[in-house]
Structure formats: C-alpha cells, structure tokens
Amino acid sequence: MGLLADFLRAVLARRPKDEAEPAPGPMDLRGGWSLLGAWISASAGVRLGQAQLILWALGLWLVAGIGVLLLLRRRHGRIGESATPSFAGLALGCGAAAIVCTQLLLSGVGLINPALEAAAHNGSTVRIQLELASAPSTSTVTNRFTPGEPAHTQFTADARTVAVSSDGRWVRAAVPVWLSFAESKAPSGELSTGSTVELLATVSSSEPGDRQQYWINAAAPLKVVGVNAAPSVFKHMRERFTDSSTALPHPARALLPGMVFGDRSPMDQELSTAMKVAGLSHLSAVSGANCALVLGFVLALSRAAGLGRAATLLLGLAALLGFVFLVGNEPSVLRAAVMGSIAAVGVHANRGRNALATLGLAVLVLLTIDPWLAGEPAFQLSTMATAGIVLMGRRMAQRLNRWLPAFLAEGTAVSVAAQIACLPVLVTLNPSFSLYSVPANLLVAPLIPLITVAGTLGVVVLIPVPVLGVALIWVAGMPTMVVGLLGTWISELPGALRPWPVGLAGILLAWGIVVGALTALGYVPPTAVHWRSRILLAVQSVVTGVLLGLVLPLTALVPVPVITDWIIAACDVGQGDGMVLNAGAAGAVVVDTGKEPEAMNACLKRLKVKNVAALFISHRHADHDGGIAGVAAGRTVGSFFYSVADDPADPPHLADTSGQQKTATQLGSGATGKAGTVSWNVLGPIPGGINTGENDASLVIRFEIQVSGSDRRVSLLATGDMQEEAMDQLIAQGTITHADILKVSHHGAANGGIHTAPTVRPVLALVSVGKDNTYGHPSDTALRALEVNNVRVMRTDLSGTIIVSWGDRGLSVSSLGPSTTQ
C-alpha cells in the first residue's frame, strides 16, 4: 500500500503556481537538417530523369564532401576551435539528400520502358505480364434507381511488370504500375499478392512523381500464369482472430481487428465516419504507438526477469520484428517499426535527449528505402506528429503541470502538440479539423495499452491455446467497445467537425499556428529590448487563444456567415446533386435540385438567390429532380430544361412566384444558351449514343462563367450521372475537353469512369454525395483516378456546401462545414 500511495502522489503531483519553472534542457536541432535534406531530395528526385538525378547526386556529394573536409580541418585546429560552424547543418542536409538521390539512381527511377511508353503515347494495346504487389481491391456500385440493373464491379491492384511483349518476344521489365480491370475481365482463379498474370492491355501514363508509372487497363480477360503458393501462417492467425472477434458486441467486433493489426474491413461506413469526426480514426491503423507499446511491454518483462541491457534490447527488437510479420509487412507497419527500432537503439546508447536527431535518422533510413513515402500523407502526418511531440510536448507539459496533475498535463501536451504539428498536412487533405480530438484522445488513452497488448497476445495464442486466446480477445474487446461508443457519441456533438479556410490562406494559417506555438514555448529567445518583448508577449497571447480554440469547443458557438461573393456552389443536398452558378444581374443558373425541396431552398437562401435564370434537370431520378419545388419557392424561374431516357412525353413541371405552371423543355447534344454571365453548351447525350439506362441520358454540359470585373472566364463540366461507357464515347469523339472544374459523375461511383479526369484536366473536382450513404459513394476507383491526375477533390459529405470564388490570386474554395443531411 505504501508503494501505491507513493505512486499516486507522484502521478497527481502539481507544481505550485509560484514555483519557478525549470528551464527545458537544450534540444539538439542538427537532426532537422538531415530530415529536411532527405525529404526535399525524395520529393523532388522521384520526378526527375536519370540524367538529372546523376547531376544532382554528384553536386550534393561534392557539397557534402567539402563540408566534411572543412569540419575535419576545424577539428584538428587549423581553422580554430569555436562552436560548430553554420555550414555544418548545410553539409549534413546535403549528405542526406545525396544518399537519397543515389538510392533513386540505383533503383532505376527515371528510366523509361520503351514498349510501355510507346503504348501510352499511341493508345495501342500491349501484351504484358504483371506480378501483383497487393490483392485486388474491389469497388461495387448498384444503381438502385433503375430496377434490375446489374452491379458494376471494378478491380484495382498495385503491381509490377515482369515482362513486356515487343516484336514477338518477351522483354524483361520491372516497372511499378496500377492494374485496373472490370469484373468481365477477371480470371477464373483467385488473385492474391504475388500472383503473376498475363493480359492484353491499354496503357496510360501516370503523373510525374507517382510511384506507379503507368495505369494498365485490361482490354481482355486476365490469364493467371503464376500463383504465390507460399502459405502464410500469420495471415491465418489474423483471420482466425477476426473470426473470433465477431462474438464481441458492436462496435468492439468491428474495431478490435483494426486496433490490433490494422484490419479495417469489419468497420462499416457509419462507424468509420464517426471515428474520423471524433479524431480517433488513427487508432484503427497500426502506427508507431502500437510498436512502442509492444516494445515497451517486452522490455518491461525483460527487465523484471533481470536481463541485462544488451539482452533486453535484442529481445525487444526481436519482438518488434515478430510484430511486423504478425500484423503484415505493410509500408505503414514497416515505417513504424523502423522508427521504433532506431528510437530503442538511441535510448540504449544513452542518447535519449537527441530525439530530433533520432527522428532525422529514421526519416533518412525510410526515405532511402522508399523515397515515395515523402509524398504520402500518412508518412507526413507520422513525421510531423513525432516532431511536434519532440519539440513542443515536453515544454508544454511542464507549463501545464502548474495547473494540472502530471498524467493529465503530459497527455494534453502530447495530444495538442501532435495536433498542432499535423495541421499543415491535415488542412490540405480536408479543410476541416476535429474539434474534440484532444479530449477524445485523452479519454481513450488509458485504454490503448490494454487493447494493444492483450489483443496482440490474443493473436499469438489463439491457435495453440484457444481458450486463453478467446479470453484475451474479450479482455481487449471490452475497452475497445468503450472507445467505439465514445467515438460515436463525440462525433454527434455540436460542431464536431469544423471547417477550415481553403487554399493558401488555410495553409499559411496552419503554419502560422505551428510557428506561433514554437515561439510561445521559447524556441525564439526573448530579447531585452522592451518593445520586442511586448511583441513576443502579444504573440504568446494569440497562440494561447488559438490553442484554447483547438482544445475547447468554442468555435462551435460561432455562426456561419451568409455567402455574398461566389461563382459556383455545390449545395449540401445529401445523396444527390444540386449546383448553383452565379449569373450576375440575371440571378443564378441551377443544375439539379437534390431529393428534398427544403435542402435546396435553404442553400439558395444562403446564396441570396431570388431569381433563377435557368434550371437544368440532368435526368429524371429523384436525387436530381426531387427538390424542384424548393427552387421555385419564393423565386422566379426563367428557362427550364431537362433530359430523360424512359418517357420524353412526361416532362417535369413547376410553379414559381408568377403563379404560372412551367413545363421543362427537353435538351440534347448541340444545344447552347446564355443567361447573364453564364453561357452553356450541351455536349451529351448524343443521338443514338450508348444508353444503358436513365443515368446515360444525363445532360453533360460545359458552362462558361464570366468573372465579375475581370476578363477571366471559369469553365465547369457538369456530368450528371452519366456512366463510363457513355462518357467514354463522348471522350472518343473529342467532345469532352479541358475545364477548370469538374462535377464528378454519379456522386463518385466506380461506374462513372476513370478517363474523364485525364481528359478534362481540372484543377478542382466537386463530388456531391450524402453523408453515410449506402451506395459506397464515392468509390476508391473514382478517387484514385482523380488523385493520380493531381486533381483537388472537395466532397459535400465531408465539407457541406462548397463555395468556389474568384479573388486576386485566382480560384479559391471554402465550405460551410460538414454535412448533416442523409
């Protein structure tokens, strides 16, 4: 009892407010130079050709070598014996960059495969053999608006070429590619990682810097020519654990496999969205925290058993290696394991204070192994979070400990430091932030070690000792259920996901918060000059206010302003389409109305639209024409157009404020018109074109919007729900060309096609889709097609109503917060 009392006193200890705060120990920042050099080199190097890489590598090695020679001369007293010179950091950064560039050269980055390049350039087919680097992922979409229409299934897999047929002979090639094929092209046998397939395919080039250099699209059924027959004991162990977890109550049975080894497949869309909104989605992916918990558990057991330091370290690293094989050697797991291993060795060598140097070494090792990690958001978030905790966590905890118990001060400091550091990356992925993320993570933090350790032990012992394995699953499952219920509850709180400024302003604001936080924590030393001290104090006050805004739900009380300056608005109408174009003095042009009149009417009110110059109904499905009455409510409606496949004799009607019934006019390819500052050209559907249902009858319209007070015109391609085959027909005819903005077809369904984005080459894609919809919209296939073409994506289910404006710097995008419409 005495030991327990001592422990509780230490944990609950608080530093008196009048006690002097100890000065934080010095932080070795030299590791930041290697981190920066490696990151810049990897980000830029993957976009360069072989000749450019050679020149950069030689130049970097030369600069790094000169720096090393100067340092050696300095060490031997020929120049002097002052502190480390300023050029040492530059030399360290250049050395790290040179290592990454050299690895890029050795791995063949920048080399062009002649056969694939010719096929991509000419549009010809090529016979090719591929080895799958991942099992194919499936996207299935069922059009529930058209009864009896079959589901459309698309498969995508990461692969690597084995050989390419050229002039009747096989030429060996090793090029990373994406394989895409429809269900009709699938082979009879099951495909898995390591399978080798042969196929006739068309080839399209990826964007510069992509890991996969080409998209391989199957033009004929795949033929399996090799199977990875090696049994996977670890895979069987994971599957057995997942099956046994189904006995747990919801949401534990869906969350536990993800929290133990990163398997999110049991999670439904509702739970996944709730965890994201609550800021807890990272718990269902294997990260450095999992590796640290496993490593710490083994090290504690080893020390308790009286093992020496060296034996403890070796046993810990062996356990970490086993954990990697157990959960699957995915890139994220390997990344976490490398960081954990280097950290463990650093601590063993009594260099724990050089945390930033350890992080720099880990990043250098990982980017040397895989330079494309530099461009992956998961790696960026992992590195930024770690750097934030290293630089800000300890100092923030020391200050908070004056008012809070030690465990609460440290937990809050770690969560806030990680969230601040990750902001610049998070806001580029989605212009919003999880308001309750910090308190949510604080509440679940005590449960994570039990879940990770008990769950991992359960995976290991479930097969040899089933009774013990099941018991461990329940031990880990009960706190997992608490995490899931807590995440669901937090996601439903007011303002759980708040919008963030979009574009350069949002990024600069995020970086400003990072710099401000570092300044407030003493990384910019205060000066003795009186006015400068006051400025620094003001900065610290502002940063403190911002931190409170992140930790506490204050921004939920701030009302969203009425929009007055806009060009295009994608209204949040739930699972449906509703778009509004600003036509200047003529009013607005509306394209589709969603399913519910109330949602469309509310959007138009926010936009202050009183007159609708033209209303387009792309096709006769309820999620596009159900809200017509909302458009006409209290407004005048001018022109009224529609398209339909099933019954042209039954056009839609409306009654506006004039009291007269208006009947829509059917449009087809070639129709043009203008209303105020908006002009349009109807590109589809074409007479006699592909028509597999109502979706293919969708109006495909190119709009041109004159920017007020400028000669600039913004172009928008609205595609309705037109499906892949019909859209490809328009593309093949040359009807579809470049546009600034793309309204993604069919809410991002897989059957919307993947060829529209590379043809249109938009800077922005708008996806009108409902939150927690049951159709799987938007599909991974559609999002990947936009991603590989470097198109920025905005979704109404995540951002609510999306506003496109024009300013001094060009197009800008903002939003009204996350959707609540189903």
Residue 1 has pLDDT above 60, yes or no: no
Q: How far apart are CA 342 and CA 348, in angstroms?
A: 10
In the predicted model, what is the mean pLDDT of residues 348-358?
59
Same domain, 455 and 361: yes
Q: Token pair of 44, please?
A: 């830029």
- Give the tens place of pLDDT for each residue, 16-67: 544 444 444 455 566 677 888 888 888 888 888 788 888 988 998 998 888 8
Same domain, 350 and 465: yes
Residue at a domain's end among 226, 254, 282: 226
Q: Tell me, yes or no, whether 14 lies in a domain.
A: no
Q: Which of 15, 22, 18, 21 is nearest to 404 (CA)?
A: 15
Count other Cβ atoms within 10 Å, centred on residue 761: 14
Query: Which are the contacts of 388, defined by CB distance < 8 A and separation ≥ 6?
Result: 417, 418, 419, 420, 421, 422, 514
Q: Tell me, yes or no, whether 574 lies in a domain.
A: yes
- Give the tens place of pLDDT for each residue, 91-121: 888 888 899 888 888 877 767 778 888 877 7
Domain that holds residue 77: 31-106
Q: How far apart are CA 591 and CA 601, in angstroms?
A: 13
Q: Tell me, yes or no, whether 126 lies in a domain.
A: yes
Query: How do 741-743 and 764-767 pair as beta strands?
Result: parallel
* Token pair 């050229």 in the structure block, residue: 166
Residue 703 has pLDDT above 90, yes or no: yes
Mind giving me the DSSP string for 179-206?
EEEEGGG--SSPP-TT-EEEEEEEEEE-
Q: Please, what is the Cα angle at 810 between 806 and 814, to 5 degrees?
A: 55
What pLDDT, on a 0 to 100 scale, did the predictor assign at position 471? 94
Our measurement of the distance from residue 704's CA atom to the centroid of its chain's CA atoms, rounded to an integer in Å, reads 31
How many Cα neighbours within 13 Å face the side chain of 198? 9
Same domain, 191 and 96: no
* Token pair 């006769």 in the structure block, residue: 620
In the predicted model, what is the mean pLDDT of residues 367-384?
80
* Token pair 């791995």 in the structure block, residue: 107
Our measurement of the distance from residue 665's CA atom to the centroid of its chain's CA atoms, rounded to an integer in Å, reads 42
Residue at a domain's end among 498, 525, 544: 498
- Give the tens place of pLDDT for each residue, 550-562: 433 333 334 444 4
In the predicted model, what is the mean pLDDT of residues 700-719?
87
Query: How do 152-166 and 137-141 pair as beta strands?
Result: antiparallel
Q: How far apart are CA 133 and CA 178, in angstroms?
A: 10
Query: Which are the contacts of 666, defined by CB distance < 8 A and separation ≥ 6?
Result: 641, 642, 643, 644, 648, 651
Same domain, 503 and 493: no
Residue 545 has pLDDT above 60, yes or no: no
682 sits in which H/E element: strand 678-684
Residue 563 has pLDDT above 80, yes or no: no
CA distances from 768 to 32, 314, 599, 606, 629 (A): 42, 53, 13, 18, 20
Same domain, 397 and 509: no
**By mean pLDDT, which of 336-340, 388-392, 488-492 is the weakest?**
336-340
Q: What is the CATH number of the domain that holds 764?
A: 3.60.15.10
The tally of domains found in the chain comes to 5
In the predicted model, what is the mean pLDDT of residues 635-660?
80
Q: Tell me, yes or no, whether 140 lies in a domain.
A: yes
Sequence letter at residue 351: R
What pLDDT, on a 0 to 100 scale, did the predictor assign at position 517? 80
Count other Cβ atoms within 10 Å, centred on residue 680: 25
Same domain, 251 and 199: no
Same domain, 311 and 456: yes
Phi, psi (rounded to 5 degrees) for 217? -105, 115
- Which segments of 2-128 does DSSP mark as H helices, in order? 2-11, 31-45, 50-75, 87-106, 114-122
Same domain, 313 and 390: yes
Same domain, 513 and 486: no
Q: Token pair of 308, please?
A: 């020496």
Using a CB cutoff of 8 Å and minimum separation of 24, what contacts does 247-253 make? 247/470, 247/473, 248/473, 248/474, 248/477, 248/480, 248/481, 249/481, 250/481, 250/484, 251/480, 251/481, 251/484, 251/485, 251/488, 252/477, 252/478, 252/480, 252/481, 252/484, 253/477
8 A C-beta contact, residue 637 and residue 662 = yes
Q: Tell me, yes or no, whether 9 lies in a domain.
A: no
Q: What is the CATH number of the domain that holds 149?
A: 2.40.50.140
Same domain, 474 and 505: no
* Token pair 């036509």 in the structure block, residue: 583
Our measurement of the distance from residue 11's CA atom to the centroid of its chain's CA atoms, rounded to an integer in Å, reads 37
Same domain, 612 and 750: yes
Same domain, 343 and 376: yes
What pLDDT, on a 0 to 100 scale, did the predictor assign at position 352? 46
Sequence letter at residue 615: L
Instruction: Tell me the range of 194-198, 309-313, 471-475, 693-697 where mean pLDDT is highest.
Output: 471-475
Residue at a domain's end among 69, 84, 106: 106
Q: Tell me, yes or no, whether 12 lies in a domain.
A: no
Q: Tell me, yes or no, whether 821 lies in a domain.
A: no
Q: Please, what is the Cα angle at 602 between 599 and 604, to 5 degrees?
A: 110
Sequence letter at residue 347: V
Q: Tell me, yes or no, whether 437 lies in a domain.
A: yes
448-461 and 309-327 are packed helices; what angle lies between their axes, rounded to 10 degrees? 80
